[in-house]
């Protein structure tokens, strides 16, 4: 097995688009709140790339990355220290279960990279969304992402994509869906990296996710005191626009965004 740092480096470059992501979050915040959010909490932070990109938006932007795995958090914190220098104090990485940490209050909570799939039943999902709402200041947004479509229920299924980072060697990213369980809405997935030096990083990360539907998450947000809207790919800032419906594509990705209600 490759080192954790090696796996996280390839993960960040294969699946994350932090600059576009934070641009979209800020744009949605302006649309829904009437003013730009400046304080972001990234739950299930992993590489903390979103938190770092948020802090880079301006000197007024602050981020908090919450990651429960100590080794992953340490890797992310060291990377942020190197990248942000003196401004790293504006983007701390905290080792904690997301449910154990409330403060400091923020304007936006982001649980991306399909992290809410970790909650396998509705009660747990609503509990998390209520917790995320408590982490907001007087107003704010909670942002989660989902994927679906016909392809999401096909197994076995492998998808390969070439990645050419600006700061390292090119590699192939391979996403594998090994099993699906439509009765429990569960999927078992893993990712691999095929490197140019001949190395194959097998099962770099593995997931047992609940594949939530958009309506399910929107309804859960309502129960948690959040007013939900749906955003998907389009010509807006960060590539996201508000939508009323999604087409019957093979694969789709959408965000469900909840606004804190009094």
- The reported pLDDT for the residue numbered 235 is 81
- The reported pLDDT for the residue numbered 23 is 97
b or e along 108-139 (b: 16 or more beta carbons within 10 Å of the residue's beta carbon)?
bbbbbbbbbbbbeeeeebbebbebbbebbeeb
Question: Phi/psi zone of residue 63: left (φ > 0), alpha (ψ -120 to 50 degrees), beta?
Answer: beta
Cα–Cα distances in Å, from 45 out to 1, 48, 66, 88, 119?
22, 5, 6, 16, 16
pTM for the predicted model, two decimal places? 0.95
- The reported pLDDT for the residue numbered 1 is 67
- Nearest alpha-carbon partner for 144 in 162, 161, 125: 125
pLDDT digit string, tens, across residues 79-105: 999 999 999 999 999 999 999 999 899
* β-strand pairing of 200-210 with 171-181: unpaired
- The reported pLDDT for the residue numbered 168 is 86
Query: What parts of the chain have a pLDDT lower than 70?
Result: 1
pLDDT digit string, tens, across residues 243-256: 998 887 889 999 99
């Amino acid at each position: 097995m490759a080192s954790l740092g090696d796996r996280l480096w390839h993960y960040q470059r294969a699946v994350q688009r932090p600059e576009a992501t934070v641009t979209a979050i800020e744009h949605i915040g302006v649309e829904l709140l009437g003013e730009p959010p400046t304080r972001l909490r990234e739950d299930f932070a992993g590489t903390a790339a979103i938190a770092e990109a948020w802090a880079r938006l301006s000197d007024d932007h602050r981020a908090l990355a919450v990651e429960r795995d100590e080794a992953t958090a340490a890797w992310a914190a060291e990377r942020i220290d190197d990248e942000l220098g003196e401004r790293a104090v504006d983007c701390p990485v905290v080792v904690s279960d997301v449910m154990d940490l409330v403060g400091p209050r923020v304007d936006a909570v982001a649980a991306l990279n399909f992290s809410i799939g970790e909650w396998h039943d509705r009660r747990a999902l609503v509990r998390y969304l209520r917790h995320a709402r408590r982490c907001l200041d007087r107003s704010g947004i909670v942002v989660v992402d989902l994927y679906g479509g016909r392809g999401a229920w096909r197994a076995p299924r492998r998808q390969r994509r070439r990645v050419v980072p600006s700061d390292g060697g090119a590699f192939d990213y391979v996403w594998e869906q090994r099993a699906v369980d439509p009765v429990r809405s569960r999927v078992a997935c893993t990712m691999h990296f095929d490197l140019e030096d001949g190395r194959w990083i097998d099962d770099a990360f593995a997931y047992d996710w609940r594949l939530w539907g958009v309506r399910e998450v929107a309804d859960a947000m309502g129960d948690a005191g959040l007013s939900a809207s749906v955003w998907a790919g389009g010509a807006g800032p960060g590539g996201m626009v508000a939508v009323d419906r999604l087409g019957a594509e093979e694969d789709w990705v959408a965000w469900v965004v909840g606004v804190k209600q009094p």
